[in-house]
């Protein structure tokens, strides 16, 4: 995912995502409805409809690149208003220092989940993800649980998956928490496992002048 921040509080976002092969096989097996095997695991129509419900988003575009992958883009037209709706995202713009923060915890997890389609929430539920169940597990305990139910390969795919987030800011970066920076670009590589388990609060921040 790439987010380009502008000084007028608008943010241009482009993203892509795919489900790994063995995980895709597993998730397709959960749906026994007629024709389900030929339906996309990630539905562009469903994702678009979900995003359209958020008034602070515009120019929403979503496309399936295959049955288990998506690409898309959108504009956040009022980041301050969006952060009031979803407090795990916080942006403070100032004449000197500006700050963008993402803080995800077990307490704020429902806000994050509300951004997902019902299909994705069902997938997470089937994977027994603590972010959905509320169960307090460590990363190691969760991987052991997945291994015991679905096998080692699925656990390995979860453990190796990461969310990559690049943020371009309208200034020079002064500080980054949880990532790296080069001039006006901050990069974060977030393990999917950390998001699924939330063993500890995840805090990512970029500060620029």
What is the tens place of the pLDDT at every residue in 69-107?
Answer: 999 999 999 888 888 888 888 888 877 889 999 999 998
- Look up the pTM and report it: 0.86
Please say if the pLDDT value at position 194 is more than 60. yes
Mean pLDDT of 119-126: 91
Contacts of residue 190, Cβ cutoff 8 Å, sequence gap at least 6: 162, 163, 164, 165, 178, 202, 204
- Tell me how far apart the alpha carbons of residues 148 and 134 are, in angstroms, rounded to a whole number: 19
| Paired residues of 187 in beta bridges | 166, 180
Q: Please write the tens of the pLDDT for every residue from 35-66.
A: 556 678 888 999 999 999 999 999 999 999 98
- Tell me how far apart the alpha carbons of residues 119 and 48 are, in angstroms, rounded to a whole number: 13
- Predicted confidence at residue 133, as pLDDT, reads 92
């Amino acid at each position: 995912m790439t987010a380009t921040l502008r000084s007028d509080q608008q943010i241009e976002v482009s993203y892509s995502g795919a489900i790994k092969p063995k995980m895709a096989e597993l998730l397709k097996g959960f749906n026994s409805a007629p024709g389900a095997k030929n339906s996309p695991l990630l539905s562009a129509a469903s994702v678009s409809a979900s995003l359209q419900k958020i008034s602070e988003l515009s120019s929403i575009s979503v496309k399936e690149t295959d049955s288990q992958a998506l690409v898309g883009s959108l504009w956040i037209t009022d980041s301050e208003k969006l952060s009031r709706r979803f407090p795990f995202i916080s942006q403070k713009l100032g004449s000197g220092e500006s700050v963008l923060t993402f803080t995800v915890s077990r307490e704020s997890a429902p806000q994050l989940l509300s951004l997902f389609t019902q299909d994705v929430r069902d997938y997470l539920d089937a994977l027994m993800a603590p972010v959905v169940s509320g169960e307090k597990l460590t990363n190691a305990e969760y991987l052991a649980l997945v291994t015991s139910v679905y096998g080692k390969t699925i656990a390995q795919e979860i453990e190796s998956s990461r969310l990559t987030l690049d943020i371009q800011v309208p200034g020079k970066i002064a500080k980054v928490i949880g990532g790296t920076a080069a001039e006006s670009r901050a990069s974060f590589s977030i393990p999917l496992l950390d998001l699924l388990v939330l063993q500890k609060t995840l805090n990512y921040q970029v500060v620029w002048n």
